[in-house]
Amino acid sequence: MNIEEYKDVWVFIEQQEGQIIDVGLELLGAGRELADKLEVNLCGVLLGHQVKESANFLYSYGADIVYVIDDPVLEQYRTETYMTAVGDLVRKYKPEIFIYGATANGKDLASAVATEVMTGLTADTTLLDIDLEKRMFEASRPAFGGNIMATILCKKHRPQMATVRPKVIKKPEPVQGREGKTIEETISIKEEDLVTKVLEIVRDTEKAVNLEEATVIVAAGKGIKDAKGFAMVKELAEVLNASVGASRDVVEAGLCEHDHQVGQTGLTVTPKIYFAIGISGAIQHVVGMQNAEMIIAINNDPEATIFNVSHYGVVGDAFEIVPMLTEEFRKVFKGEESEGVTADV
Ligand code: FAD
């Protein structure tokens, strides 16, 4: 493989029922920085049916070129069709770097493409950079149980590929009127050649929690001890119209479902306000919430590491402080005059 032939930064633009999902736009923001450092084009890869028109939208988020394959066979995600389409594009246009959202489909596709074009893949990265001297893509992710950040290089194969979790990177502001170029390609596979058929899409309507989109999250850690403590945290969340998050220990104690878990093996969240109640601040939790705009920690241990990442810290017993906060916020939202929180903390 002559790696010199490979250039440009590519981003896989995932769509669901024709709607582009946010992670692709977030990655265009990150990709723009990488492409600018390397002085190459930033390209989006958009597959689907009747999706061509969305290319203009992608230019406004920083794409210079959008490769589009618009075909009924690509309407729904299937590994076989998407892998073939992307593999053909990679072989023809030779990108230097290719990043995908670490969604269920993004992870499936990236790993299939890695085997199809015989290159490496770094999964679930949280930091992307370039070593300009060596012209090498640096994809970093927590490793060894989150105790270190490992920077992974793909030295001998191209493209250098990574998946990035949704919400790890901030979506850039669109620049209206920004223009680019669309390159249309075709896929040779026909529906009758395919063994996998999508018969029906069944939505998980039970899954009411959408922590990744929440503006305010009230999260419980093991310090809340039991179901009574968890109910106390839920009450504060209700008054604030917030979503409830949890550390892994709380999920493992059976106090809530895994959908609520924030962290390395849970979700990455970026709310405006994150209350960390009785959470110690283990790195595996922190990687999932450290990009919140404001972190308010309540912990009875003044040395708790959560205070290293929090903007406001309250040292004290959650069982005293949380009910007081709930009461005060209730008054504020009802328009009653607050007397102020007088906790001895
Ligand atoms: P603890 O660490 O036990 O902390 C409890 C805190 O509550 C303490 O700081 C204590 O001072 C405080 N406290 C106690 N009583 C009170 C009180 N009355 N009032 C106020 N504060 C009080 N963890 C995650 O959260 N998410 C993950 O995705 C995740 N993934 C992991 C993946 C791997 C591979 C590994 C090895 C671990 C992972 N963990 C994850 C676990 C992580 O290492 C920690 O064990 C976990 O985050 C600790 O949860 P905690 O902060 O709730 O509990």
Nearest CA to ligand 1 atom 2: 280
Name the phi and psi angles at 254, rounded to 5: 80, 15
3-state secondary structure of 297: strand
What's the domain count of the chain? 2
Mean pLDDT on 260-284: 94
Between β-strands 127-131 and 136-143, what pairing exists: parallel, antiparallel or unpaired?
Answer: antiparallel
Which residue has better confidence, 209 or 165?
165
| 198 inside domain | no
Cis status of the peptide bond prior to 95, with omega within 30 of 0: no
CA of 229 to the centre of ligand 1 (A): 15
Between β-strands 136-143 and 148-152, what pairing exists: parallel, antiparallel or unpaired?
Answer: antiparallel
Report how far residue 257's alpha carbon sits from residue 164's, in angstroms, rounded to the nearest whole number: 24
User: What does the block give as tokens for 344?
Assistant: 């001895």
pLDDT value, residue 203: 72
Q: Which of 118, 13, 10 is nearest to 64 (CA)?
A: 10
145 ligand 1 Cβ < 6 A: yes
pLDDT band (50, 70, 90) for residue 339:
low
CA of 212 to the centre of ligand 1 (A): 20
pLDDT value, residue 207: 53
Whether residues 82 and 30 share a domain: the answer is yes
Q: What kind and span of H or E run contains 300?
A: none
pLDDT tens digit sequence for 33-44 = 999 999 999 999
For the CA of 246, the nearest atom of ligand 1: 25
pLDDT at 166 over 90: no
pLDDT band (50, 70, 90) for residue 342:
very low
Whether residues 189 and 276 share a domain: the answer is no
| 177 inside domain | yes
The mean-pLDDT minimum among 13-17, 94-98, 303-307 falls in 13-17
Q: How far is CA 163 from CA 130, 169, 242, 274, 328, in A?
A: 16, 12, 29, 25, 43
Mean pLDDT of the residues in the chain = 92
Nearest CA to ligand 1 atom 36: 145
Range of the domain at 142: 3-193
pLDDT value, residue 229: 97
CB atoms within 10 A of CB 151: 17
pLDDT at 311 over 50: yes
Report how far residue 260's alpha carbon sits from residue 285's, in angstroms, rounded to the nearest whole number: 12
| 64 inside domain | yes
pLDDT at 209 over 70: no
Q: Which of 147, 149, 93 is nearest to 122 (CA)?
A: 149
3-state secondary structure of 187: coil
pLDDT tens digit sequence for 12-57 = 999 988 899 999 999 999 999 999 999 999 999 999 999 998 988 9
| 122 inside domain | yes
Report how far residue 260's alpha carbon sits from residue 243's, in angstroms, rounded to the nearest whole number: 9
Kindly state the percentage of the chain with pLDDT values over 70. Answer: 94
Whether residues 47 and 146 share a domain: the answer is yes
Whether residues 181 and 215 share a domain: the answer is no
pLDDT at 345 over 50: no
CB–CB of 96/65 below 8 Å?
no
